[in-house]
Structure 1
Amino acid sequence: MTTTNLNSNTQVLVTGGSGFIAVYCILQLIEAGYKVKTTVRSLNREAEVRDMLKTGGVEAGDRLSFIAADLSADAGWAEAAEDCTYVIHVASPTPLKGYKHEDEMIIPAREGVLRVLKAARDAGVKRVVFTSAFGAVGFGHKPRTTPFNENDWTPINDKVPAYQKSKTLSEKAAWEFIKTEGGGLEMATVNPVAVAGPVLGPDYSHSIQLIQNMLFGKLKGCPRINTGLVDVRDVADLHLRAMTNPAAKGQRFLAISGESLWTIDIAQILKRRLGHYADKVTAKNVPNWLIHLTALWNPTAKVIAPMLDQNMNATSEKARRLLGWSPRPAEEAIVATAESLIQLGIVK
């Protein structure tokens, strides 16, 4: 998107500015001429965020300002939303390891989004674009052959892991708030599948870690797990489209590029495209029984065991049709991820 002066008096709040998706949203907003405010839990992170933007080719200067605010407390949110036309709410509580009860994940997620929506409503913001997740769409269903779409919701039952449950319940709470207490506030949600793409700094998504672990040779084989993929640059682009397009009001948008892939497909792409950097990548399947056995003592295997052989295909037809969104192929996102890890010296 090119810089235009039309947007120069419009201010956008991006929450959780140090995160992988948030940095790309800030980057594209600045390129499109907007003024941006962003929240970080600690103002010590300002230099890090500016460095990541610089790596992405943008000197934000005084078009970007920082406010300290945490999703678990009220302080800072009114100031953050003040004088903003739009809010892109990307921040979410960090997934806890070793939590005692799922409510430790669910309650902060729900309260965090309601805090942001209240601040947005009270400040007279026009629209909030809320980063939800595929986790609120495609988990806990019976096996199916048709792709998931925006009408699907993850059911709330014991089969669904706490993180996906927290995503589902916080998105449902957000829609309920808009309906009952939102006043004139509009909302759209973006529900990305696994997010890949060029890494700008140390803070990145779980999907990137999968690719990194493959390149490091930490994955001795490919579990039979199916996942949709999307490039972070396209996720940010979809947020900006959902922010301003009248057709996005009150809508959910799945962000996926093409068909979902199996872990072995990702390994084969790396082998084919990355030469000697992919020497340690293992492109062979791990039998399911081995993962079920390992799950008895290994926490990672325990998390992935229920996902084995589940078809996680989804469609982004709605975003393409309503918003003219056109994501790059998943293979390009995978290769861009790996190349950025090499450039940053993370993979040698």
Structure 2
Amino acid sequence: MSMVLVTGGSGFIGVHVILQLLAAGHEVRTTVRNLDRARDVVAMLREGGADAPDKVGFLAADLMRDEGWRAAAAGCDYVMHVASPLLAHAPEDENELIVPAREGTLRVLRAARDAGARRVVVTSSFAAIGYGYPPRTAPFDETSWTNLDGPDVQAYPKSKTLAERAAWDFIGREGNGLELAVVNPVAVFGPALGPDFSESIGIIRMLLEGAMPAVPRINLALVDVRDVADLHLRAMTSPEARGERFLAVAGETMSVLQIARVLRARLGAKARRVPRFQAPDWMLRLAARRNPMVRAALPLLGKVRQSTSAKVATAESLIRLGLVKA
């Protein structure tokens, strides 16, 4: 089978991609910013049921540095570029997200091209597809791009849009035959394998811990991380996937209040702290004056996106791993 490099192997999507690559018989190498994280990744792979997680190779590489990428890509048939910079706070300077996302993507693409890889699969986001538009009834698809000049487009969607645009431009101008496919997930849920998980799963943990007295009027389109990982593997090997974007979404939208109700119905006493009511928008706007994370959520108020009910597996895994505060 093929040798595959997965960037950002300690991340939520990255670990699930590695699990499915191993199950399919591929050899896997992954990058982490610090090799001390290798032990954590192996533990998460073992939690996910990998037969031989110790066979995964680890190299240190940082999206903001050239060092390490040539060695990481050497001998690889395919590259899954899953790594993406994320901040625990809303940045004062949007370039704190934009520059690492764009320049890191270009570093990975150059390394893959120079190593003679066949194809790179980039993990982008719905944030590069459906932001910056007024309310609309027409669904977004892979032909849509976030309008960077639109209202309330913040640092994260800008970073994902500009990074993906840079990837396509690179392939067109200097890819030298390197192929590209892109996966654009919506909010990613599914079973957590350890303390590294998506911001979407962070919402479930906040609900379970009762961190908010009432939920915001936000709707989410959801997709299961296992489906996202499966889509990455299909985009890697399918001839038809060359030069294509794939919007990873499943089912109908769900409001945060609907998610809270499902958690209470399915988890019983374990969901005793989950809020029962929806906060009025004015309350969120008032809180946003003091809290930058709340302020970042304001553009989502009332907007509708597609979804599925994968959050139950998410909640159960958080409880099983002891990641919800008692």
Q: TM-score range by the shorter chain?
A: over 0.9
Q: Distance in 2 between matches of 1:62 and 1:229?
A: 32
Deviation digits for residues 101-128 of structure 1 (CA, Å, limit 9, x no counterpart): 2122211111000000000011110010
> RMSD across aligned C-alpha pairs, in angstroms?
1.4
Q: Could you tell me which residue of structure 2 aligns to residue 327 of structure 1?
A: none
Aligned residues of 2:7 and 2:80 also touching (Cα < 8 A): yes
Q: Could you tell me which residue of structure 2 aligns to residue 138 of structure 1?
A: 130
- Equivalent residue for 2:194, pick from 201, 209, 212: 201
Q: Could you tell me which residue of structure 2 aligns to residue 321 of structure 1?
A: none
Q: Could you tell me which residue of structure 1 aligns to residue 78 of structure 2?
A: 86
Residues 24 and 288 of structure 1, relative CA distance in 2, 3 Å threshold: same
Deviation digits for residues 198-221 of structure 1 (CA, Å, limit 9, x no counterpart): 111111111111001111111211
Q: Does 1:154 align with 2:146?
A: yes
Q: Could you tell me which residue of structure 1 aligns to residue 219 of structure 2?
A: 226
Shift of 1:227: 1.1
Residues 269 and 205 of structure 1, relative CA distance in 2, 3 Å threshold: same
Residues 265 and 254 of structure 1, relative CA distance in 2, 3 Å threshold: same
Q: Could you tell me which residue of structure 1 aligns to residue 32 of structure 2?
A: 40
Q: Could you tell me which residue of structure 1 aligns to residue 164 of structure 2?
A: 171
Shift of 1:159: 2.4
Q: Could you tell me which residue of structure 2 aligns to residue 26 of structure 1?
A: 18
Q: Distance in 1 between matches of 2:108 and 2:139?
A: 32
Q: Distance in 1 between matches of 2:32 and 2:291?
A: 34
Shift of 1:277: 0.7
Aligned residues of 2:91 and 2:155 also touching (Cα < 8 A): no
- Equivalent residue for 2:47, pick from 34, 55, 58: 55
Q: Could you tell me which residue of structure 1 aligns to residue 8 of structure 2?
A: 16
Shift of 1:61: 4.9
Aligned residues of 1:34 and 1:63 also touching (Cα < 8 A): no
Unaligned runs of 5+ in 1: 1-6, 315-329
Q: Does 1:335 align with 2:286?
A: no
Normalising to structure 1: TM-score of the pair? 0.90
Q: Distance in 1 between matches of 2:26 and 2:278?
A: 47
- Equivalent residue for 2:237, pick from 241, 244, 249: 244
Q: Could you tell me which residue of structure 2 aligns to residue 4 of structure 1?
A: none
Q: Distance in 1 between matches of 2:208 and 2:49?
A: 26
Q: Distance in 1 between matches of 2:105 and 2:284?
A: 36
Partner amino acid, structure 2, of 1:225: I
Partner amino acid, structure 1, of 2:315: A
Partner amino acid, structure 2, of 1:224: R
Q: Does 1:344 align with 2:321?
A: yes
Alignment partner of 1:228: what SS?
strand
Aligned residues of 2:89 and 2:292 also touching (Cα < 8 A): no
Residues 96 and 219 of structure 1, relative CA distance in 2, 3 Å threshold: closer
Question: Which shows bigger deviation, 277-286 or 76-85?
Answer: 277-286
Q: Distance in 1 between matches of 2:50 and 2:29?
A: 15
Q: Does 1:181 align with 2:179?
A: no
Count of residues in correspondence between the two structures: 324
Q: Distance in 2 between matches of 1:92 and 1:152?
A: 21
Unaligned runs of 5+ in 2: none
Residues 99 and 305 of structure 1, relative CA distance in 2, 3 Å threshold: closer
Q: Distance in 2 between matches of 1:30 and 1:338?
A: 26
Aligned residues of 1:138 and 1:312 also touching (Cα < 8 A): no
Normalising to structure 2: TM-score of the pair? 0.96
